Amino acid sequence: MNSRPLLRATGRRTEPFFQHQNLGHTRCYRYTRLSPHRPELRFLDRPVRRQLQYRHASSWQEIKRAAREHPYTMTLGVTCVGISLSILGWFVWWYTKYVIPSYENIPDPVAEKLRRAIYFTNIQLDVRKANRYYREALEKAQECGMDQWSDEVMGIKIMVAFLFEKANDYATSIRVLELVKRDALRWLEKEGKDHMADGRRTRVLAKACGISGKLGELYGSPWIEDFDKSHAELLWAVETVLKEQKRRNTEGVKEGEGEWMDDEEIGGSMEALARSYQEKNQHYLAAPLYLQALRHCPSDSCHSVVLMTNLASAIAEQRPPSSDSAKSMDMPSLTEQARLWLQKSLDLAKIIPPDQYSSECDEGRVAALHNLGELAERGNRLHEAKRSYEEAKTIAKGVGFEEGLKEATISLNRVQKALAV
C-alpha cells in the first residue's frame, strides 16, 4: 500500500427636583418678609421658562401616548437606543484601556501621524495614504529625538511591512523587513556590545530574530514559494536564539541586559523551523525540533496537543538518508512511536481545563485520529482505520473544521471501498 503523508494540525446621589407651589394665579418662589424694613421678594416665572415647561410636559405626554398606541415599536426603539449606548460605552472603555496606553511613550507629533496611518491600515485600507503617514511619523520621530532602535520606532517600520502584506504586496513587504533586519544587524555589529547594560542590544536582537521568522513565513507562503530562503531565515532565527541563550547560560546575564525570549517564543521559532523541514521532506530533522518545541510549551495547553500530533507525523514519515552513519530505527518501531505520541495527544486533549480549551484542541484531535487511521491502514488493519476515520469525521463536522472533514471523508471512502472488495 502506498504511504501517504500524514495530516498535520494547523496549527454609580442625585439631587431632588423641587416642586413649584401654586400661589393663586401666579406660580412663584416666595420669600416672606424677615423684618418690617425688608419688603417681600418674589422671583416670578418668565414666559420663556413657562413655555419650556409646557414643552417638556407635552413631549413626555407624547412619549406616553406613543408607548400606549405602539408598545412593540417603542420597546424596539428603546432597546436599540440601549444597545447603541452600550456599544458606545464599550468603545470608550476599549479606546481608553487599549488605544491610549499604546501611545503613552510616543510624542504627540508622532502619535498624530501614527493614528492616521493605522486608520488607513486597519479601518479604511489605503496603501498610499497609510505609507505617507508612516513616513511622516518616522520623520517626526527623528525630529523629536526618539531612539531609532526603540520598540516604538522599530514597531512603526514593521507596521509598514504589515501594510503591504495586508494589501497582498508580499514582495514589497519582504523588502521592507529585509531592510529593517539588515540595518539592525549592522547596528548590532558596530554598537551592540556598547549597549548591553542598557538593554538595547537585547531588544534589537530579539526584534531581528522575530523579523527573520516573519521573513521565513512570507518566503514560504503560497504567493512566494521560495522555500530555500524561507528555510534559511527560519534556521538563522533558531540558531541566533539558541546562541544567545547559550551565551547567557555560560557568561551569566549582565546587569541591565534585560530578559531574553520566554519559553513560548523560543518554542515557536523551533516549531516554525520544524515545519520548514517537513516541507522539504526532511522529517528526521523536523522531529527533534518538534520535541524541543514541546518542551518549551505549557504541558496543559491545546498547542501541546497540536505539537504532539505533528511530532508523531514527523516520526512516522522519517526516511533518514542512506549516508547517515547512525543506525536508523526500523519502520515498525517508528510507527509504534508515532502511534504512542498520537494517543498521548488524544489523552491530553481530554484533560485540558474548560477555560483553556479552544478550537486548537479540536483540530489537534481530528488530525491525531486521522493519523491513527493512516497508521492502521498502512498495517492493513482496515476496520480499526475505519473507526478512526469515522470519529475524526464526526468531530471535524461538529466543530466546523473543513480541512479535517475533507481529509477524513476521503480516507473513509477509500477504506470502505477496500473493505467492500
Place of cell 498502512: 378
At 84 the pLDDT is 77
Mean pLDDT of 391-406: 95
Which class for 401: exposed (0-12), middle (13-18), buried (19 or more C-beta within 10 A)? buried
The predicted-structure confidence for 359-380, as pLDDT tens digits, reads as follows 999 999 999 999 999 999 999 9
At 321 the pLDDT is 54
Q: How many of the other CB atoms lie within 10 Å of CB of 331?
A: 13
User: What are 397's three cell numbers?
Assistant: 463536522
The predicted-structure confidence for 303-320, as pLDDT tens digits, reads as follows 999 999 999 999 999 875
Please, which residues have CB within 8 angstroms of residue 209's CB and are 6 or more apart in sequence? 237, 240, 241, 261, 269
At 171 the pLDDT is 96
Choose the weakest-confidence range: 80-89, 114-123, 143-152, 200-209: 80-89
The predicted-structure confidence for 319-369, as pLDDT tens digits, reads as follows 755 555 444 567 888 999 999 999 999 999 999 999 999 999 999 999 999
For 68, 118, 155, the CA distances from 167, given in Å and listed in that order, are 54, 14, 18
Is 247 or 40 the better-scoring residue by pLDDT?
247
Mean pLDDT of 11-37: 40
The predicted-structure confidence for 27-38, as pLDDT tens digits, reads as follows 333 333 344 444
Q: What is the mean pLDDT of the chain?
A: 83
Please, which residues have CB within 8 angstroms of residue 203's CB and are 6 or more apart in sequence? 149, 150, 151, 258
Q: Is the pLDDT assigned to residue 48 strictly greater than 50?
A: no
pLDDT category at 99 given cuts 50, 70, 90 is: very low
**Nearest-5° Cα angle at 111, 109 to 117:** 115
User: What are 200's three cell numbers?
Assistant: 538595547
Is 115 or 51 the better-scoring residue by pLDDT?
115
The predicted-structure confidence for 379-394, as pLDDT tens digits, reads as follows 999 999 999 999 999 9
pLDDT category at 19 given cuts 50, 70, 90 is: very low
Q: What is the pTM of this model?
A: 0.73
